[in-house]
Amino acid sequence: MTNVNEIFASKVFDDKVMRARLPEKIYNSLRQTIDQGQALGADIADQVAKAMCQWAVENGATHFTHWFQPLTGITAEKHDSFINPAPDGRIIMEFSGKELIKGEPDASSFPSGGLRATFEARGYTAWDPSSYAFIKDNTLCIPTAFCSYGGEALDKKTPLLRSMDALSKQALRILRLFGNTEVKRVITNVGPEQEYFLVDREMYLKRRDLIYTGRTLFGAKPPKGQELDDHYFGAIKPRVQAFMEDLNEELWKLGILAKTEHNEVAPAQHELAPIYSTTNVATDHNQLTMEIMKKVARKHGLVCLLHEKPFAGVNGSGKHNNWSMSTDTGSNLLSPGDTPFENAQFLLFLVAVIKAVDDYQDLLRLAVATAGNDHRLGANEAPPAVVSIFLGDELQTVLDAIETDSPYAGKEKTRIKLGVDILPRFARDTTDRNRTSPFAFTGNKFEFRMVGSSDSIACTNIMINSAVAESLKQFADRLEGAEDFSTQLHELIKETIIAHKRIIFNGNGYDDAWIEQATKERGLLNLKTTADALPRLLEKKNMDMLIAQGVFTEAELRSRYEIQLENYVRTVRIEAMTMLEMARREILPAVMGYASSLAEGLYRKKAAGPAVTCKADVKLIDKLSDLADGIDSAEDILESAVAALDMISDITAASENVRDRLIPAMQSLRELCDQAETLTARSFWPFPTYGDLLFGV
């Protein structure tokens, strides 16, 4: 048995190690930097670097890297060794403060959406001391932000840190109004629940679609899917169990609080949830978790699929972003308190979130917009593309009572007077948990369920933090000048409920009638695809808010728009090219090969004499030939759709072309190929089927 206590965070240069290895003065100063986001002095950086290097070398590291999150996808690192020549011709292992604080990855091929002209192509990376350094594969990894020389953010961490600052600043203004003078910083916390699939590596290697795109582009439904619900929370198979144990151990070493693991709804689907932490750290940890899942899977002869929709017709994978705000003194601002005053404060923070989600529904939607996630949102398994909030009955009753100035049933028919009454503690139970809601209040946190499984949670939390900061700013502006605080507070909460209650929906989010009501009666947005959602980033109200909160500059927003749309177009184009290759070189030859072997058999039967009946042979040959013809022309149509896309240089127009022409052409080709699969003898089919993949582990 592993001694968890011994291995936990054994590869992390964390508080315990810092305290033990740094002179007290240096430690205290670093601690201030970490806790209050202050700048780190050069002399301190030198001492920290020295201790860090010594610790890393003792723990087997030979290299260091500035570990960062460019706008492409996962994480990036460029390794440098600690080795420096010593005067005596030997070497010393060394690492300076300058190297710790700043690196120059010369990473000119990362997308910048035009932010860096080539003459100043280099970006630089800067240590984020609020996320601990760690050792991975004999390399000391230093979590860093990645910026251009002009100071524009080229990564996901920089705006995330800015959004956390923005929220803290505004939340503090509110807390001061409630007489709180102790709190120095408000922190946002996240616990991301990560879903994934495991498939057998041998089978995976036989499918080019999985290799190139991470999802299956073809595949008929197997006779058994998830209809029996026999996988959800079912017993974990030994091979998967071994993987999970190994994974936990690797994550624990990195100080990641991997806590729960279980089977998910779809066969071969699983989930891992960590204990929540500060948004910034949770984001880094989630990136690491995804990377390590893939690595550990490989050791077990498995492949971990993080794509949002690896299999059509089977549940996809998401990431539930459990989000809350708390003070540096440890109190959760989304938890109703023990005194009437705390309750009023809770309600104010609550309606701030409601207002934020209503005002910036489009930002939340576009934060999770990717080609992969488009398959999930609204597909009767994940929340719809329409953003709404679930509050639950208890809380809804409270808000109703405030809105209408009417008696609140739960409180012996008394009216709620904010600042006077105590609210009930809302049960954190799972019974009436609405799994169909995109944004659900779950007792003391909100769970945002639209995030895709492969996505970085940074984008989502940047938007939530910024939007809530904006609500709080508006509230503080109004309340700071109030003559009678309690009355103004009551009015403000009531007005906010009235203005934004359209975003609250406690019913079934998967119901078509809801989408109808949401869009027609409530005027909520239904941004179905990435091509629909992303242009909203450049809407004036959104740009104004994100710029005013100091989270993005206009140039950064424009560059992000380009990069995210480009990513959408490129991803789908790769899928289209992969489909063409598989259809032409594998599927069509298989279908035609099977048809001609049937024809040969038919020919021999016919030669045996006129008495032999060949009805089935003829029927099947006919069907297969028709399908082959259909596949052939669908390939041509898809090919010309790709050619047409390649002629378009404007990225917005290209994304619309992908949505309106390329994706439909891909769907047509797929349908025919999937039909052909159900008619072609197994021995002729060129790659593992859905049944093989989903039930093969």
Interface with ligand ADP (CB under 6 A): 189-191, 193, 273-276, 322-324, 332, 430, 442, 444-445
**Contact assessment for residue 159 and residue 139, using Cβ atoms and an 8 Å cutoff:** no
* Least distance CB 237 / ligand ADP (angstroms): 21
Is the CB of 322 or the CB of 471 nearer to ligand ADP? 322
In sequence order, the 6+-apart residues with CB closer than 8 A to the CB of 530 are 366, 369, 370, 371, 373, 374, 564, 565, 568, 655, 659
Which of the listed partners (Mg ion, ligand ADP, none) does 271 bind, with a CB threshold of 5 to 8 Å by partner kind? none
* Least distance CB 169 / ligand ADP (angstroms): 20
**Contact assessment for residue 60 and residue 46, using Cβ atoms and an 8 Å cutoff:** no
Which of the listed partners (Mg ion, ligand ADP, none) does 434 bind, with a CB threshold of 5 to 8 Å by partner kind? none
**Measuring CA to CA, which residue among 193, 208, 323 is closest to residue 269?**
193
Which of the listed partners (Mg ion, ligand ADP, none) does 455 bind, with a CB threshold of 5 to 8 Å by partner kind? none
Q: Which residues of 396-409 are buried (b: 16+ CB within 10 A; e: fewer)?
A: ebbbebbeeeeebe
Q: Which residue is nearest to ligand ADP (CB)?
A: 191
Is the CB of 219 or the CB of 438 nearer to ligand ADP? 438
Quick check: 449 binds Mg ion (CB under 5 A)?
A: no
Quick check: 320 binds Mg ion (CB under 5 A)?
A: yes
**Measuring CA to CA, which residue among 541, 531, 539 is closest to residue 558?**
539
Which of the listed partners (ligand ADP, Mg ion, none) does 613 bind, with a CB threshold of 5 to 8 Å by partner kind? none
Which of the listed partners (Mg ion, ligand ADP, none) does 189 bind, with a CB threshold of 5 to 8 Å by partner kind? ligand ADP
Q: Work out the number of other CB atoms within 10 angstroms of the CB of residue 637.
A: 14
Show the DSSP H helices in 391-539 as ranges. Answer: 393-404, 458-480, 485-500, 512-516, 530-533
Which of the listed partners (Mg ion, ligand ADP, none) does 191 bind, with a CB threshold of 5 to 8 Å by partner kind? ligand ADP
**Contact assessment for residue 473 and residue 346, using Cβ atoms and an 8 Å cutoff:** no
The conformation of residue 332, written as its DSSP 8-state character, comes to B
Which of the listed partners (ligand ADP, Mg ion, none) does 252 bind, with a CB threshold of 5 to 8 Å by partner kind? none
Which of the listed partners (Mg ion, ligand ADP, none) does 324 bind, with a CB threshold of 5 to 8 Å by partner kind? ligand ADP
* Least distance CB 320 / ligand ADP (angstroms): 7
* Least distance CB 341 / ligand ADP (angstroms): 21
The encoded tokens of residue 232 equal: 């959800």
Which of the listed partners (ligand ADP, Mg ion, none) does 444 bind, with a CB threshold of 5 to 8 Å by partner kind? ligand ADP
Is the CB of 320 or the CB of 500 nearer to Mg ion? 320
The conformation of residue 68, written as its DSSP 8-state character, comes to B
Is the CB of 274 or the CB of 378 nearer to ligand ADP? 274
Task: Give the C-alpha distances (Å, rounded to integers) separating 661 from 370, 573, 640, 643, 644.
Answer: 17, 12, 10, 11, 9
Measured between alpha carbons, how far is 697 from 685 in angstroms, rounded to an integer? 20
* Least distance CB 274 / ligand ADP (angstroms): 6
Is the CB of 139 or the CB of 286 nearer to ligand ADP? 286
Burial of 661 (0-12, 13-18, 19+ CB in 10 A): middle
200-205-210 Cα angle (round to 5): 90
* Least distance CB 261 / Mg ion (angstroms): 13
Burial of 123 (0-12, 13-18, 19+ CB in 10 A): buried
* Least distance CB 273 / Mg ion (angstroms): 7
Is the CB of 445 or the CB of 490 nearer to ligand ADP? 445
Which of the listed partners (Mg ion, ligand ADP, none) does 275 bind, with a CB threshold of 5 to 8 Å by partner kind? ligand ADP
Q: Which residue is nearest to Mg ion (CB)?
A: 320
Is the CB of 128 or the CB of 195 nearer to ligand ADP? 195
Which of the listed partners (Mg ion, ligand ADP, none) does 356 bind, with a CB threshold of 5 to 8 Å by partner kind? none
Measured between alpha carbons, how far is 691 from 697 in angstroms, rounded to an integer? 11
Is the CB of 321 or the CB of 559 nearer to ligand ADP? 321
* Least distance CB 187 / ligand ADP (angstroms): 10
Which of the listed partners (Mg ion, ligand ADP, none) does 465 bind, with a CB threshold of 5 to 8 Å by partner kind? none
In sequence order, the 6+-apart residues with CB closer than 8 A to the CB of 94 are 53, 82, 84
Quick check: 319 binds Mg ion (CB under 5 A)?
A: no
Measured between alpha carbons, how far is 529 from 131 in angstroms, rounded to an integer? 34
* Least distance CB 248 / ligand ADP (angstroms): 14
**Contact assessment for residue 116 and residue 560, using Cβ atoms and an 8 Å cutoff:** no
CA 189 to chain centroid: 15
Query: In sequence order, what DSSP letters do the residues of 586-625 get, joined into one string?
Result: IIHHHHHHHHHHHHHHHHHHHHH-TTS--HHHHHHHHHHH
**Contact assessment for residue 342 and residue 407, using Cβ atoms and an 8 Å cutoff:** no
* Least distance CB 663 / ligand ADP (angstroms): 33
Q: Work out the number of other CB atoms within 10 angstroms of the CB of residue 688.
A: 21
- Torsion, Cα 383 388 394 400, to 10 degrees, reads -160
**Contact assessment for residue 303 and residue 204, using Cβ atoms and an 8 Å cutoff:** yes
Q: Work out the number of other CB atoms within 10 angstroms of the CB of residue 60.
A: 11
Is the CB of 234 or the CB of 301 nearer to ligand ADP? 234
CA 298 to chain centroid: 22
Is the CB of 116 or the CB of 320 nearer to Mg ion? 320
Phi, psi dihedrals of residue 260, rounded to the nearest 5°: -115, 150
* Least distance CB 447 / ligand ADP (angstroms): 6
Which of the listed partners (ligand ADP, Mg ion, none) does 687 bind, with a CB threshold of 5 to 8 Å by partner kind? none
* Least distance CB 329 / ligand ADP (angstroms): 15
* Least distance CB 75 / Mg ion (angstroms): 25
Which of the listed partners (Mg ion, ligand ADP, none) does 430 bind, with a CB threshold of 5 to 8 Å by partner kind? ligand ADP
* Least distance CB 430 / ligand ADP (angstroms): 5
Is the CB of 103 or the CB of 452 nearer to ligand ADP? 452
Is the CB of 307 or the CB of 320 nearer to Mg ion? 320
Which of the listed partners (Mg ion, ligand ADP, none) does 10 bind, with a CB threshold of 5 to 8 Å by partner kind? none
* Least distance CB 285 / ligand ADP (angstroms): 11
Which of the listed partners (ligand ADP, Mg ion, none) does 300 bind, with a CB threshold of 5 to 8 Å by partner kind? none
Is the CB of 157 or the CB of 320 nearer to Mg ion? 320
Is the CB of 61 or the CB of 464 nearer to ligand ADP? 464
Considering only the stretches 207-215, 284-292, 315-323, 593-601, report the one whose residues sit in contact with Mg ion under the rule CB under 5 A: 315-323
Is the CB of 161 or the CB of 334 nearer to ligand ADP? 334
Is the CB of 65 or the CB of 322 nearer to ligand ADP? 322
Number of residues engaging Mg ion in binding (CB under 5 A):
1
In 3-state terms, the chain is what percent helix, strand and coil (to 5)? 50, 15, 35
* Least distance CB 194 / Mg ion (angstroms): 11
With H, G, I as helix, E, B as strand and everything else as coil, classify residue 262: strand
- Contact residues: Mg ion, CB under 5 A: 320
